[in-house]
Amino acid sequence: MSLKRRNSWEDFEVKKPKIEKNDSFTVLLMGIPGSGKSYLRDEITSLVKSKFNIDSDFNFGYCNPDEEVKSLKRYSEKEHSKYLKFGSIKALERFKSYVKDGKSLIYDGTGMNNSYKFFIRYSKENNFKVILIKIDTDIKIALERIKMRKRKVDAYVVERIHENLESKYNIYKELVDYTINLKNN
């Protein structure tokens, strides 16, 4: 089994209604840690642009609780989980700011907390189209990828998210405008 990161997206489901030229988008990523959500952000952006005929010069804002934690002056990898609630709050503030300003965005998270329902509702209330992208990855591959990065996630956490991912996806996919289901092994 090769653990080398590569672009191996396999697009196997798309729910795609009509797109208008000036639509604003919220792209919600969901998947287990190590699935490639953050690492392949640029490829995800290109995929969304090509699937939905969005101008190539178009830029998305980006929200990620982990990135917000890393922006702290007192940040250290060992204390990452201690500050994750702060990161989630700051990412939520950034999300609201982007939507308020009409700026399309990508929110990078696992999809396990109920904030995704808020993101969907808030986006729609502000006339944004919502794209949900679920990234499926073999759990063994994800755990090996996590071993190679600085910030670690306990295996039991990854397993718990993996067990609940499909049920959360099934809830959210009924609420959004578009879905893309990807496999990244």
155 vs 2, residue with greater confidence: 155
Dist. CA 72–CA 55, nearest whole Å:
34
Dist. CA 72–CA 63, nearest whole Å:
15
69 vs 105, residue with greater confidence: 105
Mean pLDDT of the chain: 83
pLDDT recorded at residue 116: 95
| 5 within a domain of the structure (yes/no) | no
pLDDT recorded at residue 114: 83
Range of the domain at 70: 35-183
Tell me the C-alpha to C-alpha distance, in Å, between residue 98 and each of 16, 65, 79.
Answer: 23, 15, 28
pLDDT recorded at residue 19: 61
pLDDT over 90 at 106, yes or no: yes
For range 21-50, the mean pLDDT: 85
- How many domains in the chain? 1
Report the CATH number that the domain containing residue 128 is assigned in CATH. Answer: 3.40.50.300
Tokens of 58: 């178009």
For range 46-66, the mean pLDDT: 80
